[in-house]
Structure 1
Amino acid sequence: MSCLISRICRMAMAPCPRVLVSLTASSSSRTRTYSSSPIASSVEACHQSRITSVQLKEKELSVHWNNTSTVDLPYVFLRDNCQEPESFDQVARQRLFNPAFTVDLNIRATGAEVNEEGRQLTITWPDGHRSRYKSSWLRQYCTGNTAMSGRLPVETFYWGSDYYEKLPRFDFEELLKDDKCLLEYLLKLESHGLVLVENVGTQSQQVKRLCDHIYYPKPCIYGIDVMKVESKLDASHIAYTGVELPLHNDFVYCDYTCGIQMLHFIHHVPGSTAGASRFCDGFNVAEALRKTNLSAFDMLSQYPIQFVDAGTDTVGDYDTESWHHTISVSSSGEITEVNYSNHSRGPHFPAILMDKLHEWYAAYYEFSHLMNSPEYLIEFKVEAGQMVVFNNRRVLHGRSGFKLQGNDYRYAELCYMDWDEIRSKARVLMKKY
């Protein structure tokens, strides 16, 4: 594992442009690997790039590379990204000036020279200020970034019904003691979206121990840190009953949907299938829909719908409402979220969608049937002493129904975390190693 961590850290610490590449499918498993970060080749290209010559133009500097390519960089971009101490704080890694107030939009360099055998470029500005840029830095940022997201630099692994055998598994105590193991866990959360933590034991508050080891749990309308998931009378949510819980994402009825759900099972009902957990890779299903029925995909990704939830929990009464696209897509075409919860879906639709409701329902039906099909759905019983952790914005979850008899009971403890904290911790550990 240490070799894998070292390789990932070396690749990840050089922020070269992430490029959107093609989707490939395995005919046997029908799972997909989505390569959103061909980092190794990009990093190598950045560090091997040398500047052979430069040419001063009217509004940009033409930079010629040793691979015979040429790029024109506007002077205002170069001055804005000056890396000198008076322009950029090297410790805080933050810009110290606003070019809108200090740099002429039509600024032009008075001189430019290539140094250190093509590894550095020095530019002189009209006020005498000199800016130095490493060739590797220029190469990283001169082509832009196609992905435009804060994701960790790992490939996204799309999975289907055979995922249980491939499910990444981690030992609880090792996560708390070994930062390399913790980093691997965080990276697998990003790439796979669903992992299993074993040997947690059946003591209370263990899920909070893991949250606190990363940063802290996310408070919400259901609780401040650790929430109890148990069957009870007068439940305000069907998750607290024994009826079948359909596939869904949590918090779609809030403007900000939580990033990570961590569910630690402490006691389970008897039976191999009673209360068994169900999971589906929403990104994989959304990509399949885009491939087979683009009009249905567009219908679900172009129009937001209403979600609502109201009731009472440990923090008191709550009444939430929000609108989300069923499938959220970035400007570069990358699927970023799936928002699906039929039991929390409200009756309102956008006015612009009212004359297209039949088409919307047709798309919704197809998407719903697809995610519940044997090709994409996995079901297994999370045993007492295990913790399942998953990306709430990607992985849909649910469970089979169960009946309580005699002294039977089903009890789990739940914490949420946000992706900001998950990714921050991973980047800190990548720097450490």
Structure 2
Amino acid sequence: MYSLFSKFRQTARLHFLRFSSVATNSSSSLTHRFSSPSLRITSVQLKEKKLSIQWNNSNTVDLPYVFLRDNCQEPESFDQVARQRLFNPAFTVDLNIRATDAQVNEDGKQLTITWPDGHHSRYKSTWLGRHCIGNTTMSGRLPVETVHWEGDYYDKMPRFDFEMLLEDDRCLLECLLKVESHGLVLLENVGTQLNQVKRFCDRIYYPKPSIYGRGVMTVENKPNASSLAYLSVELSLHNELPQYDYSCGLHILHFIHQLSDSAAGGKTRFCDGFRVAEVLREKNRAAFDLLSQYPVQFVDVGSDLVGDYDMEAWHNTIRVSSSGEITEVNYNNHCRGPRIPSILVDKIYEWYAAYYEFSHLLHSPDYMIEFRVQPGQMTMINNRRVLHGRSAFKLQDNEYRYGEVCYMDWDEIRSKARVLMKKLSLTL
């Protein structure tokens, strides 16, 4: 009887995973932007400063010789275990180096280049396809497109079965990619036992410590709290830990006990800060520029489990890359400090007007979703993109809210995803 039930439960999880995958995204995200194993070199041509490579998909790429020599993969140039370069090209490679010969081997799967000193460099076609100049982003992000969302996101939100994430590498990879692309996913069937956040973190990496705790922390109502999150007042939309110079990348929250559905208030709110920032840029470019050009002070002073603290950091409300891509939204009115940069003094009213407009857009029903996260559900949030908050509530009778929360850094999340890609033969 037990084995039959276990088999049924496993089948149900598989159906849940398939449904989630179909409902939210196609499986193409697992291979997007990664070179195909079928990529082959059909021909090469030696040019003055570059090697021209013709692919079997009719595309052509020109790679500078100095780039190719710098990235030689041979054991004399590249440690095969540490996967790190063994030399400094500034002292060993002529800037104007030119290959003396280039041969296509193994039915187009490998390229061999001969250099003036007789050294040979071999490159796999898949390596060349992936590392072609310009064929990558400079952010370190995972290879998925950013998907913006608005106030109708709840029904579209990617959902994953918790136990499947712990058991299935492909499921976990898909989840990490969805967090990268969408910024917010929901894990279901987590149960209401303690330490589920730790179980999930152990699958990836260890949590990021903070002034509120060294790992997994509890969220519950308590008097004389060091954070408004422990009270019943309304929490406007915000990021976690903007008072840190390097704020956390991911915010994970598991509800173990929650208010009843009939209770007033206490619902969680989410908003895609990237989408709203884009809306502001379209509607009022001057306001967008003010928020993206001038930093804001964030402070947090108090005492918690790890002792007294006095935190301060400065961040632009909207951070934009050199190419104009929005990379961060830093918004937390609760711990926004009073100081302003001197360069902003003469523009203070313009800045406040921009801040007000952005705030109203963030809290608009057009862009914000609100729902009561149920016991046994876990949220994963890109903390530098998706803002979260909560409506005020009043505890009645024996009601209480209790959950476990932790922070993680994007570096470890993305590292885990890349390792899984390699394990599943989805990348080199």
TM over 0.5: yes
Could you tell which deviates more after superposition, 381-390 or 60-69?
Answer: 60-69
The yes-or-no answer on 1:192 pairing with 2:178 is no
Q: CA deviation at 1:263?
A: 1.0
Q: 1:201 aligns with which of 180, 191, 206?
A: 191
| Pairs within 5 Å for 1:22-421 | 39=33, 43=35, 47-48=38-39, 50-57=41-48, 59-63=49-53, 71-115=61-105, 119-145=109-135, 147-270=137-260, 271-421=262-412
Task: Call closer, same or farther: CA 1:146–1:179 in 2, change over 3 Å.
Answer: closer
**Conserved 8 A contact 2:250-2:383:** yes
- Root-mean-square deviation (CA, aligned residues, Å) is 2.5
Provide the rounded CA distance (Å) in 2 between the counterparts of 1:388 and 1:79. 46
Provide the rounded CA distance (Å) in 1 between the counterparts of 2:136 and 2:396. 55
Provide the rounded CA distance (Å) in 1 between the counterparts of 2:170 and 2:132. 33
**Conserved 8 A contact 1:273-1:380:** no
**Conserved 8 A contact 1:250-1:392:** yes
Partner SS for 2:349: helix
Provide the rounded CA distance (Å) in 2 between the counterparts of 1:136 and 1:265. 44
Provide the rounded CA distance (Å) in 1 between the counterparts of 2:129 and 2:192. 52
Provide the rounded CA distance (Å) in 1 between the counterparts of 2:63 and 2:169. 41
Report Cα offsets for 1:21-55 as digits up to 9, x if no partner: xxxxxxxxxxxxxxxxx63xx735x9545353413
Q: How many aligned residue pairs are there?
A: 403
Could you tell which deviates more after superposition, 338-347 or 176-185?
Answer: 176-185
Q: CA deviation at 1:79?
A: 0.9
**Conserved 8 A contact 1:282-1:371:** yes
**Conserved 8 A contact 2:39-2:129:** no
Task: Call closer, same or farther: CA 1:250–1:9 in 2, change over 3 Å.
Answer: closer
Partner SS for 1:322: strand
Name structure 2 gaps, 5 residues minimum.
Answer: 1-16
Could you tell which deviates more after superposition, 69-78 or 289-298?
Answer: 69-78
Partner of 2:7: none
Provide the rounded CA distance (Å) in 2 between the counterparts of 1:184 and 1:174. 11
Q: CA deviation at 1:272?
A: 4.4
**Conserved 8 A contact 2:35-2:129:** no
Task: Call closer, same or farther: CA 1:121–1:202 in 2, change over 3 Å.
Answer: closer
TM-score, structure 1 length as denominator?
A: 0.85
Provide the rounded CA distance (Å) in 2 between the counterparts of 1:168 and 1:68. 36
Report Cα offsets for 1:167-215 as digits up to 9, x if no partner: 2222222222222322222222112211122222222222111111222
Runs of 4+ in structure 1 off by over 6 angstroms are: 2-6, 66-69
Provide the rounded CA distance (Å) in 1 between the counterparts of 2:342 and 2:126. 51
Q: CA deviation at 1:274?
A: 2.0
Q: CA deviation at 1:62?
A: 4.6
**Conserved 8 A contact 2:287-2:351:** yes
Q: CA deviation at 1:329?
A: 1.4
Counterpart residue identity of residue 151, structure 1: R
Counterpart residue identity of residue 228, structure 1: T
Q: CA deviation at 1:230?
A: 1.4
Partner of 1:35: none
Report Cα offsets for 1:331-377 as digits up to 9, x if no partner: 22221111000111111122222222222112111111101111001
Partner of 2:11: none
Could you tell which deviates more after superposition, 280-289 or 267-276?
Answer: 267-276
Provide the rounded CA distance (Å) in 1 between the counterparts of 2:415 and 2:336. 32
TM-score, structure 2 length as denominator?
A: 0.86
Q: CA deviation at 1:323?
A: 0.7
Provide the rounded CA distance (Å) in 2 between the counterparts of 1:48 and 1:421. 30
Partner SS for 2:207: coil
Name structure 1 gaps, 5 residues minimum.
Answer: 12-37
Counterpart residue identity of residue 35, structure 2: V
